[in-house]
Copies of this chain bind each other. A is one copy, B any other.
Amino acid sequence: MKNLDAKNFTVPGYKTWGIHCGIKKTDKKDLAIIASDREAAVAGVFTQNKVKAASIVLGMAKSKSGKGQVIVVNSGCANACTGKQGLADAKETAEIAAQELGVKPDMVYVASTGVIGELLPMQKVRTGIATAGGLLAPAGWSQAAEAIMTTDLFVKTVAVQEQIDGKTITMAGIAKGSGMIHPGMATMLCFIVTDAAVAAPVLKKMLQSATERSFNAITVDGDMSTNDMVLVMANGAAENKKPAPGSKDMKKLQACLDAVTKSLALQVVKDGEGATKLVQITVQGAKNPAEAKRAATAVATSSLVKTALFGEDANWGRIMAVLGSCGVDMEETRTDITFGKAKIVERGVGLGKAADKEATASLKQREVHILIDLRKGKGEATVWTCDLSYEYVKINAAYRS
């Protein structure tokens, strides 16, 4: 697998662009279109929230066909909690794009992100689709990635290449965070395209597997969005033979998808609202992998742990308190905690000032690694999060204004 320049790449058979059409109150981009030149296999994962945006209701229904060709994404308005009008607007958005691009409405997916409870300004959406549709270009990915941002500070893109069945295939993705990030299927917006040929049911399984170790392993603030969606399109322009389940080609393709989703997931955490640090939390020695993930997620979600990380304070007692209350099998007197390379707790007891000093030094880095060993079994899991800063409060105290 080869990494491409994430700022300048193309994927055969796809065009994309992003523009400002006035959905956002600022002059920032707010509408993107991703289009394949032919029908593609499509797989999606969607928020598990019972409160689902119109785009999610629509996308879940459409993705059952395993087919698609166009994705229209708007930022600045979630079109969630908008009732029948909201659903009608989402359908109309798909119809407008279908007409503009000469495809069937069923082939068009819509995705929205932004404030909940407001209706889409449909006249602006209509104009925006016409404008963006006229500008579609093979290298438009940075434009599209910019147009799906909300409180994100940087665009999130990734592209890789691999040899499958003797053909060079490309896989690329864009994503946006950066609040309401928490495990539970997809946890943001992410769109991945490839020119590889893959059967839709196979693509779906591959996506579920990749999601579990990427988007479902990151948390910014413990809140689950109403609009989360990850869509993958595979249009077959590379003309490879569709890989058989379990084949070597299949594994290579899975590795590409794993790399793309993990890269985007970590970009989302790095750009978590107000984040100053990327924090990797690994729990090993849990009774089973599920308990390991539960413990790691609990630590990653604790406001007390996250504020201590912002303060570069090796306050391991807060981690012990979370481990003891998160419902996993643990014993205080078996638990070890390591910050970076410094073991700071052994069998439940702090290792003193020198260890504390070394651990504190490791917290001064931009990337922080915390390792917890419960000594209860073989379960292991890794979760990524960020710290909790003044800036997070500032961003979220004023989000709608």
A contacts, CB < 8 Å to B: 48-52, 78, 80-83, 115-118, 179-180, 184, 221-226, 301-304, 307-308, 310-311, 313, 315-318, 320-325, 330-333, 345, 347-350, 388-390, 392-401
Nearest CB of chain B from residue A301's CB, rounded to whole Å: 8
23 residue pairs bridging A and B, Cβ less than 8 Å apart? A49-B325, A50-B325, A50-B331, A51-B323, A80-B317, A81-B316, A83-B333, A116-B320, A117-B316, A180-B304, A180-B318, A221-B303, A221-B304, A222-B303, A223-B318, A223-B325, A224-B325, A311-B396, A311-B399, A313-B397, A313-B399, A313-B400, A390-B390
Nearest CB of chain B from residue A237's CB, rounded to whole Å: 38
Chain B residue numbers with a CB within 8 Å of A311 are: 396-399, 401
Which B residue's beta carbon lies closest to that of A401?
A: B313
Q: Are A324 and B115 also in contact (CB < 8 A) when A307-B396, A393-B389 are?
A: no
Top 6 closest pairs, chain A to chain B, by CB = A116-B317, A311-B397, A51-B324, A307-B396, A224-B325, A50-B324
Q: How far is the CA of A51 from the CA of B401 in the complex (A)?
A: 42
Which B residue's beta carbon lies closest to that of A314?
A: B400
Copies of the polypeptide in the assembly:
2
Contact B392 A307 (CB under 8 A): yes
Contact B393 A321 (CB under 8 A): no
